[in-house]
Amino acid sequence: MVKLNKIYTRTGDDGTSGLADGSRIAKYDSRMQAIGDVDECNCTIGLAISAIQTEYPQHSNVLASLRAIQNDLFDLGADIATPGDDFTPSEMVLRIIDERIIWLENLIDETNADLQPLNSFILPGGSASASALHLARAITRRAERSITAAHNEHGVNPAAMAYINRLSDLLFTLCRSMNNGGADDILWVPGGSR
């Protein structure tokens, strides 16, 4: 269990951050950028949870899934913060595992089965819950780009990259779910503002 007695340590005052193995890297390093973007993704999922609790408290299964995802995202940050090319999880090393990706895929399939067919791209918006999920989806895509950049520079667990990719897909289907199963989606009309 993690125990934090002190919030500030002063160890980052020199512009570096610590990794899981105790090594230090620049705060602007691609690995730290990815960790920060995953954190921002997690924050926006928290915002979406708050919106869903207010707007659709009956969606307890969605809320429980999003809370599990928030926990996964902390694991994902720890995974990225662990250097090396051995991506095997252990008692002391957190790694995203294939079972979590399969879990996301099952959630996507379950959610998508209840949605109206998609006949156009949709604009971000609709209900407050859908709007918050759209924001989380967009930030998740940024996190995916950052993780890919970190992978190209340092090497990242392939399962971590797959997880963040599936997460954005899930968030998209949840956006539509929170828009009355897609009935209240705002459709893109190409050239419609001309």
Mean pLDDT of 151-157: 96
Helix, strand, or coil (residue 26): strand
What's the pLDDT score for residue 104? 98
More confident residue, 175 or 8: 175
pLDDT at 125 over 80: yes
- pLDDT band for 4, please (50, 70, 90 cuts): low
Rounded CA-CA distance 96/140 in Å is 16
What's the pLDDT score for residue 2? 63
Q: What's the pTM value of the predicted model, to 2 decimals?
A: 0.92
22: buried, middle or exposed (CB in 10 Å: 19+, 13-18, 0-12)? Answer: exposed
Rounded CA-CA distance 116/119 in Å is 9
- Is the Cβ–Cβ distance between 16 and 24 less than 8 Å? yes
What's the pLDDT score for residue 149? 98
**What phi and psi values does residue 106 have, to the nearest 5 degrees?**
-65, -40
